[in-house]
Amino acid sequence: MMADIRLIEIKEDILSDNKNLADEIREVLRRHHVFLLNLMASPGGGKTSLIVQTVRELKDVFRIGVIEGDIDSVVDAERVSREGVPAVQLKTGGFCHLDASMIDMALKEMDLGNLDLIMIENIGNLVCPAEFDTGAIKNVMILSVPEGDDKPLKYPLMFSICDVLLVNKIDYLSVADFDMNALKDRVFNLNPKIKIFVISCKTGEGIQMWIRWLTEEMNIYIRSCRV
């Protein structure tokens, strides 16, 4: 005899556990007045260089920590530690993204009472990190000039969820077939609210605009934590 087949309604978000934990992380950070920034890019886009530049510019103003997500090495964490800021290395062993539970683990290793800004260097990839809320206050992505101006067409989700796009390696513009206006059109089309800064971590061009934006956002955030 056939057993009775039943249908059970679930209607549950597959990523709800991650979202809930990300909200809890934001709550904890708010109590400690810590600003969490999630930095995403392709491999070689300039995440580590941007972190190093940002630390150099802001380490006398804010107490900074870094969470390094990397597949299986500590090279980036070592480069960041040389700048004199605490860095926690997450070894994700092949994972393609960082999620809230990994960030939660990393934050437990950090002295939140003595930090103002924590930067997450997410796994180098424009696909998966866009899906997973890390608990960050702001999401920032880097697109480097050699990658091409067509990337918003290929990775629309990443461009849709970010608060800031940093177009890095503009020192390559003269040798690259890269249409900056076409890029900006494509990005604003997907995300009209995004801020775009054009920078070069190598020459330092444009970095001050980024630092000004970050400082303003941090001040707004820290003021809002006090209320």
Partner 1 sequence: MHELAVTESILSIVIKHAAKNQVKKVLSISLKIGELTDLVDEWMQRYFNYLSKDTIAEGAMLNIERSPVVFQCVDCNKSFPVSLKESGKIVCSHCNSTKVTLVSGREFFIKHIEVV
Q: Which is nearer to partner 1, 4 or 60 (CB)?
A: 4
Q: Which residue has the tokens 């940093």?
A: 166
Short-list 114, 154, 146, 131, CA closest to 38? 131
Q: Which is nearer to partner 1, 44 or 84 (CB)?
A: 44
User: Using CB atoms within 10 A of its CB, is residue 72 exposed (0-12), middle (13-18) or buried (19+)?
Assistant: exposed
Q: In angstroms, give the least distance from the CB of 177 to partner 1.
A: 17
Q: Which is nearer to partner 1, 17 or 111 (CB)?
A: 17
Q: Which is nearer to partner 1, 180 or 225 (CB)?
A: 180
* The Cα angle at residue 218 between residues 76 and 64, in degrees rounded to 5: 35
Alpha-helix runs per DSSP H in 73-203:
75-81, 100-108, 151-154, 156-161, 180-190
Q: Which is nearer to partner 1, 61 or 127 (CB)?
A: 127
Residues at the interface with partner 1 (CB under 8 A): 3-15, 17-18, 95-97, 99, 125, 127-128, 131-132, 153, 156-157, 160, 185-186, 189-193
Q: In angstroms, give the least distance from the CB of 138 to partner 1.
A: 18
Q: Which amino acid is at 223?
A: R
Q: In angstroms, give the least distance from the CB of 175 to partner 1.
A: 25
Q: In angstroms, give the least distance from the CB of 84 to partner 1.
A: 34
Please list, in sequence order, all residues whose beta carbon lies within 8 angstroms of the beta carbon of residue 209, skipping any fewer than 6 positions away: 197, 199
Q: In angstroms, give the least distance from the CB of 96 to partner 1.
A: 5
